[in-house]
Amino acid sequence: MRATVVGGGPNGLSAAVTLARAGVEVTVFERASRVGGGARTSELTLPGFLHDVCSAVHPTALASPFFRSFGLTEKVPFVIPEASYAHPFADRPAAIAYRDLDRTAASLGADSPRWRSLFEPLVRDIEGVVDFTGGALLRLPARPVTAARFGMRVLESLAGARLRTTEARALFAGVAAHAAGRLPGFATAGAGMLLAAHGHAGGWGLPLGGSERIVDALVADLVAHGGTIVTDTEVTDLGDLPPSELTFLDTSARAMLRILGDRVPSRYRRAVGRFRYGAAAAKLDLALEGPIPWSDPALAGVATLHLGGTAAEIARSENEMARGRHPESPYVLLVQPTAVDPSRAPAGRHVAWAYCHVPPGSPRDMTEPILSRIEAFAPGVRDRILGARSTPATALEQYNPNYIGGDFNAGASTALQFVKRPVISRAPWRTPVPGVYLCSSSTPPGTSTHGMCGYHAARTALHDRGVA
């Protein structure tokens, strides 16, 4: 049996690896000169400074059932920081979410018992949480009690029923804002609850040397099982592909419709046409002559930071963006990989990776707003910049057409699209075109470098063929 995969991002590669390990003859077609999609690492600023092009920190890769069965951590060394993420303030010490739940809770004062009770049951059964959030929601979860607990905590966080202190509320708002949607909101609260639980379970790990090491491991495994990769080849129609029994599209849902053309029934086309794309990102990469000079020295060894002030200030920024405006003081997600992985830069030098959310299709260079936000907590950071590269939302889409308007989540973060991704189905990876499957993050469980979209699509196809 032969299969073709269109798109060599982590989900296309996970589908290809799953198929190849099952004995299927697989060929991957990639429009770019390198596979990897959002998990590439490149010298974006100066020679010797390695920047992750898109994804940088990978809690979901460490927890992914696909990557666990793949043996990712046996193939790629990860560094898992003691602190998963931190939230600095201008007028008080930073709030820090350590991998150690008890240590985190103890640092949150009056919210100590609330933070512990919020996350302890989820951390204790993180596999049940991953099962519930890691596939189509229209199915019976393997651990219904854990799924119910997760859902109740999401609702509680929406109602503000748990956290009271400035530090704890901002700590949660910062991680919820990863979802790039309205705050508070069901989708953002769900994303925040999941990522925070990962932070206290397996941690927020970074692959040594950069995110592309994950891709390298997938490629090596695929080739070892007889798979083939063809780069510099753009597929615009299903007829462009060689004959095969199975076809997998690691593309946006919109691109899938273009590739399949009139082969798609009108009812399915209308349903997918209603799938919405969301907020975009504008990114800034920095090569630095030294570490970021944080006012709070506790931040020096933290890899991931959320810069946005109080929970109310973060909500104001994200909601202004959701209304189609560029916030003057945006929420900024910053990663300083060299704080935990010195191999990313020449000796004594550092790299920083930061982005903020902007309206879809924005061409605006957000260097100044991002730098201003960083400098509010790290005075003098501008003096340490050796090189910089700004990537507006429009350039993100040029880099990867799956990021429509610069939306690297490949779909808006809304409650409806938790279920409808891109259609409401118990097996949304299966299209109505025989033998064709959608395997991108426009399918469940959505964005992140977990490989589960491709894994689910491949397993669905193998089941349909009576192989598994």
For residue 34 the two structure tokens come to: 């390198």
**In which band, very low, low, confident or very high, does the pLDDT at 161 lie, cut at 50, 70 and 90?**
low
Residue with tokens 């990469």: 285
15-19, 96-100, 136-140: least confident range: 136-140
Where is the domain boundary, 346, 369, 399? 399
pLDDT tens-digit map of 410-461: 888 887 887 889 999 999 999 999 999 999 999 999 989 999 999 999 999 9
Interacting residues of 13 by C-beta distance below 8 A, sequence separation 6+: 5, 28, 35, 215, 218, 219, 222, 451, 454
pLDDT at position 140 over 90: no
- Terminal-residue alpha carbon distance, the chain: 14
d(CA 170, CA 95): 8
* Same-domain pairing of 338 and 382: yes
Residue 13 has pLDDT above 90, yes or no: yes
Report yes or no: 322 and 293 within 8 Å, Cβ to Cβ: no
- Domain assignment of residue 248, yes or no: yes
260 and 231 share one domain: yes
Q: Is the peptide bond before 422 cis (omega within 30 degrees of 0)?
A: yes
Q: Is 227 found in the same domain as 94?
A: no
Per-residue pLDDT tens digits for 163-182: 999 999 999 999 999 999 88
Q: How many CB atoms lie within 10 A of CB 243?
A: 6
| pLDDT confidence of residue 155 | 87
> Radius of gyration (Cα) for the chain, nearest Å?
21
Asked whether residue 346 carries a pLDDT value surpassing 80, the answer given is yes
Is pLDDT at 328 greater than 90 in this prediction?
A: no
Kindly state the percentage of the chain with pLDDT values over 90: 90
Write down the pTM of the prediction.
0.95
| Model pLDDT for residues 57-69, shown as the tens digit of each residue | 999 999 999 999 9
Q: Chain-centre distance of CA 256, in angstroms?
A: 21
Kindly state the average pLDDT of the residues 217-232: 98
The candidate with the shortest Cα–Cα distance to 336, out of 272, 290, 282, is 290
Report yes or no on 385 lying in a domain.
Answer: yes
- Asked whether residue 159 carries a pLDDT value surpassing 60, the answer given is no
Closest CA to 249 of 429, 62, 41, 44: 429
Cβ 189 vs Cβ 158: under 8 Å: yes
User: Is the same domain home to 390 and 290?
Assistant: yes
Per the domain annotation, does 139 fall within a domain? no
The number of residues making up the chain comes to: 468
Q: At what angle do helices 112-124 and 126-133 cross, to 10 degrees?
A: 70
**pLDDT for res 157:** 80
Q: Are residues 188 and 232 in the same domain?
A: no
Identify the pLDDT of residue 160: 62
Mean pLDDT, the chain, rounded, equals 95
Q: How confident is the model at residue 37 (pLDDT cuts 50, 70, 90)?
A: very high
Residues spanned by the domain of 456: 2-40+211-277+409-464
Rounded to 5 degrees, φ, ψ at 97 are -95, 105
Residue that is written with structure tokens 């550092």 in the block: 350
314 plus 258 within the same structural domain:
no
Domain count, the chain: 2
- Is 394 in the same domain as 417? no
pLDDT of residue 410: 84
Does the pLDDT of residue 9 top 70, yes or no? yes
- 146 is a domain residue: no
Candidates 48, 40, 42; CA nearest to 350 is 48
Around Cβ 65, how many Cβ atoms within 10 Å?
Answer: 17
Q: Which of 399, 430, 456 is the last residue of a domain?
A: 399
- How large is the angle between the packed helices 186-200 and 166-176, nearest 10 degrees? 100
DSSP letter string, 117-176: HHHHHHHHTHHHHHHHHSS-SSS--SSHHHHHHHHHHHHHHHHT-S--SHHHHHHHHHHH
Q: Are residues 176 and 312 in the same domain?
A: yes
CATH number, residue 35:
3.50.50.60
Cα 171 from Cα 192, distance rounded (Å):
10
pLDDT reading at 216 higher than 70? yes
Q: How far is CA 81 from the centre of its chain?
A: 18
CATH of the domain at 311: 3.90.660
**Residue 467 confidence class, pLDDT cut points 50, 70, 90:** confident
Residue range 193-202: average pLDDT?
96
Q: Residue 342 domain-assigned?
A: yes
